[in-house]
Amino acid sequence: MAGVEVGVSDRERVDLIGELERLKSAAAAVQARLAGAMAADATRAVSDRGVRVRAVRSVAGQVGLARRCSPARALTLVGLGRGLVEELPCTLAALAEGRISEWQATLIARETAVLAVDDRRVVDARLGPVLGALGDRGVAAAARRMADQVDPGAVARRVKRAEAGR
Across 31-53, average pLDDT = 94
Evaluate if residue 3 carries a pLDDT over 90: no
Length, in residues, of the chain? 166
pTM over 0.85: yes
Mark out the alpha helices in 68-115 (DSSP H runs).
71-87, 89-96, 102-112
pLDDT band at 2 (very low <50, low <70, confident <90, very high): low
What is the residue-averaged pLDDT of the chain?
Answer: 94
Evaluate if residue 102 carries a pLDDT over 90: yes
CB 124 within 8 A of CB 88: yes
Taking Cα atoms as reference points, which of 54, 30, 28 lies closest to residue 42? 54
pLDDT band at 155 (very low <50, low <70, confident <90, very high): confident
CB 115 within 8 A of CB 155: no
Tell me the pLDDT tens digit for each residue of 77-98.
999 999 999 999 999 999 999 9
Q: How crowded is residue 63: how many other Cβ atoms within 10 Å of its Cβ?
A: 23
